[in-house]
Structures are given as C-alpha cells and as structure tokens.
Structure 1
Amino acid sequence: MTTPVLKEGLKKIYFPSTVLKLVRNAPNVPQVSNILTFRVPPSMNKFDIKSYLSNIYQIPVVTVRTSNMPAKLAGSGGNTILKRQKFKKAIVTIEGEFKWPEEPEAKTFGIQDAVQERSRFMNRLKGWRMRPHHGLQEAKKAADALAAAEKAAETKA
C-alpha cells in the first residue's frame, strides 16, 4: 500500500461545525456589560467554548460557566407529546465591555410589522365560509328531479 503524499503550502479554511447562539442575559444574571450568555450544544465543554470564542471571534475570555438545561414538556397535541430540546447554557465573562447592537428597523429589510401582518391575515379570513360550487348545486337539483320523476312513475304504476 502506498501512503498519501501531503502537499505543503495548501491554504485551507476550516469552518466550525457548531453554533453558539448569543442570547439576552437571564433575569437572575447581573446586568453587567462584560457578561454574555450563549446557548451551545450539550457536547461542548468549557475549554471548547473558550477556544471557539477566542480563536474564531478574537474575544478575550476570562471565565466560562456552564449549566445543562433539561428537555422540558412544551405541550401536547392530541396523542403526541412535544418536548423542548435540551441544551447547554454558557455564561462567559470577557475583558472589556460588550454593547448590544441597535435593533434594525424592519422597513430596511422589507419586513412588515408582525402585528400588522397578523391583522391583515385575519382580515382576509373575516367573513369566510364554505360555499357550495354551482356545478354541484345543479347536479343535486338534477338528481332530486330524477328521484322525484322515478317516485311519480312508481305511484302511477
């Protein structure tokens, strides 16, 4: 068997296969400008989170605290029981301060306000009801007339 030859000088870019979701701090976490809360996959540990943030995003991480959040019952629909997926919450302290970006206006992205969209949708359905198709009404009338004619023929005979 031959061994594969590795070429030097190939520049490859490796993208991370995990997603860290930055969320607003919980009410029990002190509202300090250098504490961030992330929602991470349960398979990541503190060292992975720290190296991920420091190597990919160049965020100077001081400490990382994690807690596993269990799957919770979200509701049931008939015979099925729905569960919220389990995840890990990571509370990260960074050097310096973090400022949340300003919330963009929906109009700049061409997105309508959710309330307006819902009211428009509900107004579209207002007064909506099932109406029988005209062709079905005519067929029903013809079937009723045929049945009446057969009944009349039986009574004469």
Structure 2
Amino acid sequence: MPVLREGLKKIYFPSTVLKLVRNGPNIPQMSNTLTFKVPPSMNKFDIKSYLSNIYKLNILTVRTANMPAKLAGTGGNTIMKRQKFKKAIITIDEEFKWPDAPDSAHFGIKEADNERARMLNRLKGWRMRPSHGIQAAKKAGAEAAAASSDVKA
C-alpha cells in the first residue's frame, strides 16, 4: 500500500521562507486568519504541510493568489519592477494575536536615530561642520584669548 503524504515535497531542512504579513484591507480581520508571502513554486499542499509540520499549526483552509509583478518606478532608462510572489491566506483553528511591538529603547534605536540625524546635519553644507561640543570649545578658547589680550593691553 503506497504511503500518502500531503505535500509533494518532503521537508527535511526548510530552505523556503514564508513571511507572515498583516492582513490586507480586503481580507476580514478575523483573529484566526493569517496571511503569508510564499514563493510562487509552493502549492497549497506544500504550504499546509510546511506550517503544520514545522510550526505545529492546525490548519483549516489554505487559499492562495498569485500576485503579479508591478512597476515600482523608473530611474533614467531603466524600469524597475517589484518581484512577483504568491499570497497565502491561512485559517487556523485557534486565535492568533500579533505580538506587541518591541521597545525601541531596549535595542538602542533612539541613539542610532539621533546619531544618523547628527551625521546628516553634518553633511548638509558644502563643508564638514564640527559638532556642538567642538564649536563650544573653540568659542570658549576664542573668548579666553580675547580676555587675555585685554588684560595685557
């Protein structure tokens, strides 16, 4: 008797990436519906097998839609296109809750944003401007030199 399996591909070490994305405006915002971006080569059985075997999800339905490549913009003589992909809408038996957004201060993102803004401000003019600390030190040095020349005179 032949062995029946759901997907056409056996998954030993997954090399495909399924990206969980937020549901679009046309998809009802149910708590048990998930939307994934998947490679166009995967079919419904492969997607169901992948998610049920790797993430232990109990999947009720799988709907797929091939999304065409779209024009992203033009740059001179070149035309750029967004890559085509397949969208999979999965219904699971349990409720799914998106995790809360992480605190950016925990990862040091605020300092990185401030440093980036400072670097962009440095590059605004035609010359490199010193930071505020260096400007204050130069100003204090100039005032001290002026004060010492007044004392000598």
- TM-score of the superposed pair, with normalisation by structure 2: 0.70
Query: Equivalent pairs: percent with the same residue?
Result: 75
Deviation (angstroms), 1:112: 3.0
Residue of structure 1 equivalent to 2:41? 43
Residue of structure 1 equivalent to 2:134? none
For 1:53 and 1:70, locate their aligned partners in 2 and report how far apart those are by CA, in whole Å.
24
Closer/same/farther in 2, CA of residues 117 and 68 from structure 1, 3 Å limit: farther
Asked if the contact 1:106/1:113 (under 8 Å) is kept, the reply is no
Provide structure 1 residue ranges, at least 5 long, that are not aligned to the other structure: 1-12, 131-157
Closer/same/farther in 2, CA of residues 46 and 103 from structure 1, 3 Å limit: same
Asked if the contact 1:34/1:98 (under 8 Å) is kept, the reply is yes
For 1:64 and 1:117, locate their aligned partners in 2 and report how far apart those are by CA, in whole Å.
45
Deviation (angstroms), 1:45: 0.4
**Greater Rg over alpha carbons, structure:** 1
Report the secondary structure of 2:26's partner residue.
coil
Q: Following superposition, which runs of at least 4 residues in structure 1 exceed 6 angstroms of deviation?
A: none
**What are the superposed Cα offsets for residues 11-33 of structure 1, whole Å, 9 maximum, x if unpaired?**
xx932010000000001111100
**What are the superposed Cα offsets for residues 101-135 of structure 1, whole Å, 9 maximum, x if unpaired?**
111012212223786455333312122349xxxxx
Residue of structure 2 equivalent to 1:71? 69
119-128 or 25-34, which moves further after superposition? Answer: 119-128
Deviation (angstroms), 1:90: 0.3
Residue of structure 2 equivalent to 1:16? 14
Residue of structure 2 equivalent to 1:119? 117
Closer/same/farther in 2, CA of residues 20 and 78 from structure 1, 3 Å limit: same
What is the aligned residue count? 118
**What are the superposed Cα offsets for residues 72-122 of structure 1, whole Å, 9 maximum, x if unpaired?**
110111111111000000000000100001110122122237864553333
Aligned 1:29-108 pairs, distance under 5 A: 29-108=27-106
Provide structure 2 residue ranges, at least 5 long, that are not aligned to the other structure: 1-10, 129-153
Asked if the contact 1:34/1:93 (under 8 Å) is kept, the reply is yes
AA partner of residue 95 (structure 1): D
For 2:57 and 2:89, locate their aligned partners in 1 and report how far apart those are by CA, in whole Å.
14
AA partner of residue 16 (structure 1): P
- TM-score of the superposed pair, with normalisation by structure 1: 0.69
